[in-house]
Amino acid sequence: MSKRAPDRDCHVLSPDSDGIATAEAFLRRGELVAIPTETVYGLAGNAMDNTAIAGIFAVKNRPRFNPLITHFADQDAAWQHVMPNQRAQRLADTFWPGPLTLVLPKRNDSTISHLTSTGLSTLAVRVPAHPAARLLLITTQIPLAAPSANPSGTLSPTRASHVIEGLGDKIAGVVDGGTCPVGIESTVVGFDGDSPVLLRHGGVSQDRIEASIGTVAVATEHSTVSSPGMLRRHYAPSTPLTLNAETAKAGELMLGFGPDMPAGAPAGSLNLSVSGDLTEAAANIFSMLRELDAMNANGIVVMPIPADGLGRAINDRLMRASSEV
Ligand code: TXA
Ligand code: MG
């Protein structure tokens, strides 16, 4: 358990060298700091520090079997801890820095805490693209374990204010880097031997992964290679969610997509992208669900969203958010 006092001030830090220096001082003391990434805000701790990692699980109330992603300044830093195969190397060359996570065999001499990978023989690694995350990783050279900076099971944060709402009384600080541009978590790719397996749809679409390395298998809960994080209900608002809806009943709110949103949609309804742009919809999904959730409606109904490109990741998050399990 964390020894930290239950109530504390969360310092809001600027994304420049001053703010990053303060974040570094906290991290070197084993404290936790939320940082912006291009996908969502991450709750960062020194991945080599057992106390910091135990703190991440405690603060998020995260199941102890669900391993964390470790973030690095560049490929060389990541390859000190894991062994890339050829396809992993190609993916890293193509998509890093960026919203892609690779699950690879951990090196025997890796100094990353076993708590980070929950004792597995693999480690999830990523080089994020957000300038503030890069500045922090490059100046400190500390590998940072960082799950999304929200209480486990709730909507992921895409603004500093979302982090403060969910975890503000439990963490040392948050680097405010504005709104996360991608808005949806990284794509996670693992390997069955040398064969690539897509473990989570995310910010790099399956099409772009396949254009780089050829066909990938998509993991299910029953695959040999799977991700402990594939819990069905996840990323959930507290208002019940209905998918693929065309109309809203009285007392409900609509989350639309595209130009055909019904003109008579209830007041307060939102549109993920009026022009039907999936990149824009991904950037809006978590913050709009949050906004609608705060309006205490009887339900949120979501219009159909095409399952191509980033639409797969969006539909994946919506399916989990609506799941009763
Ligand atoms: O975009 C993102 O990935 C964000 C930002 C902060 O980087 N992070 C994030 O972390 O989404 P988190 O903890 O919410 O999701 C990590 C996912 C989980 O589904 C977890 O099970 C999976 O990665 N994972 C981590 N290590 C793994 C491993 N060794 N084997 C299989 N899956 C792993
Ligand atoms: Mg998460």
Ligand nearest to the CA of 116: 1
**Whole-angstrom Cα distance, residue 188 to residue 204?**
9
Q: Is any ligand 1 atom within 6 A of the Cβ of residue 66?
A: yes
pLDDT digit string, tens, across residues 75-122: 999 999 999 999 999 999 999 999 999 999 999 999 999 999 999 999
Q: How far is the CA of 151 from the centre of ligand 1 (A)?
A: 14
Determine the residue of 61, 64, 68 to mutate for testing ligand 1's pocket, defined as the one with the most ligand atoms within 8 A of the Cβ atom: 68
Ligand with an atom nearest the CA of residue 229:
1
Q: Do the beta carbons of residue 303 and residue 257 sit within 8 Å?
A: yes
Q: Are strands 11-13 and 100-105 parallel, antiparallel or unpaired?
A: unpaired
pLDDT, average across residues 201-209: 98
Pocket test for ligand 1, best of 33, 69, 233 (most atoms within 8 A of CB): 69
Q: Which one of the ligands is nearest to 115 CA?
A: 1
> Helices 278-293 & 311-322, crossing angle to 10 degrees?
20
User: Average pLDDT in the 244-258 region?
Assistant: 95
Task: Pick the ligand that lies closest to the CA of residue 235.
Answer: 2
Question: Is ligand 1 within 6 A of the CB of residue 91?
Answer: no
Q: What is the number of helices (H) and of strands (E) in the chain?
A: 9, 15
Q: What is the mean pLDDT of residues 235-246?
A: 91
Average pLDDT in the 147-169 region?
96
Residue 67 Cβ < 6 Å to ligand 1:
yes
How does residue 324 score in pLDDT terms, banded at 50, 70 and 90? low
Is 55 touching ligand 1 by the criterion CB < 6 Å? no
Is the C-beta atom of 101 inside 6 A of ligand 1? Answer: yes
Average pLDDT, the chain: 94
Q: What radius of gyration do the chain's Cα atoms show?
A: 19
Tell me, what's the pLDDT at 223? Answer: 76
The rounded Å distance from CA 156 to ligand 2 centre is 6
Tell me which residue has tokens 């994080």. 229
Percent of the chain with pLDDT over 70: 95
- The Cα 280–Cα 283 span in angstroms is 5
Quick: pLDDT tens for 288-322. Answer: 999 999 999 999 999 999 999 999 999 999 998 99
CA-nearest residue for atom 12, ligand 1, is 147
Burial class (CB in 10 A: 0-12, 13-18, 19+), 319: middle
Question: What pTM does this model have?
Answer: 0.95
Structure confidence at residue 301 (pLDDT)? 97
Q: For the residues 190-212, what does the mean pLDDT come to?
A: 97
Nearest Cα residue to atom 10 of ligand 1: 147
Side by side, the strands of the sheet bearing 241-242 are: 241-242, 299-302, 252-256, 270-271
Residue nearest to atom 18 of ligand 1 (CA): 229
200 CA distance to ligand 1 middle (Å): 9
**Strand ranges, E, within 109-258:** 122-126, 144-145, 173-175, 187-192, 195-200, 217-218, 241-242, 252-256
Q: How confident is the model at residue 4 (pLDDT cuts 50, 70, 90)?
A: very low
pLDDT at 214 over 50: yes
Q: How confident is the model at residue 220 (pLDDT cuts 50, 70, 90)?
A: confident
Mean pLDDT of 26-48: 98
3-state class (DSSP) for residue 187: strand
Question: 74, 197, 57: which is closest to 114 by C-alpha?
Answer: 57
Share of the chain above pLDDT 90, in %: 88
pLDDT of residue 3: 43
Q: Is 227 in the pocket of ligand 1 (CB under 6 A)?
A: yes
pLDDT of residue 231: 65
What pLDDT score was predicted for residue 164? 97
Q: What is the pLDDT of residue 7?
A: 55
What pLDDT, on the 0 to 100 scale, is given for residue 319?
Answer: 92
